[in-house]
Amino acid sequence: THVMPGKSIRSLERAVEQYTIGMNHYLRGHRLKLQGDLTYEKNYCVGVAGADLNRWQVRFQIEAGI
């Protein structure tokens, strides 16, 4: 994903790139689902010299059916 703010708000917002990989696995038919993903977010902030605004995100989710 690549997000570029519009020209009118570019000085307030930063451009962001995200790279995500995910997976899911079903157990007991479709009664239980395990799902997770890993995202690397690369932020471009103008005017902040030497600032490291890049980060990793990890998400995990469990879904149970009745």
pLDDT tens figures, 14-62 = 778 899 999 999 998 889 999 999 999 988 766 555 566 789 999 999 9
pLDDT at 37: 97
pLDDT at 42: 87
Contact 15, 42 (CB under 8 A): no
pLDDT at 57: 95
pLDDT at 8: 60
